[in-house]
Structure 1
Amino acid sequence: MDTYESVLLVKPEVFVFNIPPRSTNRGYRAADWNLAEPSWTGRMRLICKGNELAIKLEDKNTGELFAKCPIEAYPSIAIESVNDSSRYFVLRIMDDNGRTAFIGIGFGDRSDSFDLNVALQDHFKWVKKEKQISEEPASGPALDLGFKEGETIKINMKITKKDGANEGTSRLSKAKAGNGGGLLPPPPGGSGRLPAPPGSSPAGSPAHAPKDAIPNTGTAEWGEFTSANTGNQQSASTQPSPGANSNWVQF
């Protein structure tokens, strides 16, 4: 896959100057140039393609390439600052055949030259960091966390009842414990025998017991009962006669 070209900086106006050869090793001075009459005026673009960096001087209207300056490092011989101003630089331009020449460039505003300095420094910091990362050895062998053939794992899952179910069960158990295990309490008195009907003969008197009386079974839960006929006869004997009270009406 081809590396795409990215634009790091664009300046719409840059001035190009013809410069005299450098006579000493002290560097270039912009005051030696004819600053009032630039040789060419156009647009500058700082282009990055992978790790390669270049300054392109192009026509403002058509975009036609005027000169190209490949930059391998900064600061370097490819682009140098002058000694007497921060707005001017010396570029080493190169054509497709590898021939080189030196020209001077300058900006009308100091902020434009500052932006160019920052963009150049940031690019080469990034290149240095990328190189360090690529040269760093791996910290260790890569871990193989995949399952081998036939390898299995065992998971022990402890499943408990929900809190709501446990709470309902505990409440039911408490209710049963409070009611004595669900049994009704014994009747008061503790005799365990029901009272005999009124007017009946005492238990154990066979002389007054009618023939159809129910015999005593001897169980502790039940008392001795007399026949229902005895009660009916006693009730009949206690009723007043029709003549005893004129208020009663015989039916």
Structure 2
Amino acid sequence: MSPAAMRHRLERGGTRIASLLVLAALAACAQEGDFGRPAPSAWNGLVESTGTLAARIREEPASAFALTDDERILRDRAWRFLMPAAGRDAFTDVLANLTRTRVLPPTWRLADEASYSDTLMSEAFRSPVSRYRRLSEDVVADGRLIPPFAAAAARVAGADALRLRSLPFVRTLEDDDVREAAMRVAENRCLIAWVRLETGARIGRYRFALEHLLIEVPTAEAVAAERSLGFLEARRALLDPLLPVGAEARCGLVEPVATGSRPVVAKY
């Protein structure tokens, strides 16, 4: 069998695995830990392992090396920014989680600018002011989580630099070891780039919600919400020194096209 035919078969197999996991995850979506994050369990471990395998099949950076403590912290702190700002239904959350774990490509995220606004307006509130306050609270919560993520990212980047500098001096390494090390460095960088990209997308969804809320129920509370957005935008700038301009494009993390609820499929 030719390499191209083998790759095609593996890709088809990866698609079938992803389809089965979507169905299974619907039954297992209750396995949540603190703050809604996946709880340590055999199922969630299987999803993570399958995500690494699927990413390797798609020829994305994916290393089989064990995670360092800081790499695990980085992934835990990335969770909030890679999941919907406001979930709409179980399937949306499952799809986002399978994308986060890389069972599905990152470009399979739903590109719906109005998703947060729709959820905010659909929830029952006693007063329109409560919607503005909920918006401000969500925005500020994101902003407060960026510095710890940036600090973890800086530690990981420092460790990766040490890893790369050490490679020429370790004579017992096999070619596979060098490749896995390079893949882990690329994997870490692309995760940071992904969070930076998704944080920008969240800001866009929050602003969309604020603008439509202002037109529907104008109130002075909009000023506080606007200040909250400014706070989040300033905090997002903390991620810029961690990566060069264009890192998202080099990682294949293109901006999704706004297509409502239809997934956007593109090569990573």
More strand by share: 1
More helix by share: 2
Report the TM range for the smaller structure's normalisation. under 0.3
Q: Give the alignment's TM-score, normalised by structure 1.
A: 0.20
Name the larger-Rg structure. Answer: 1
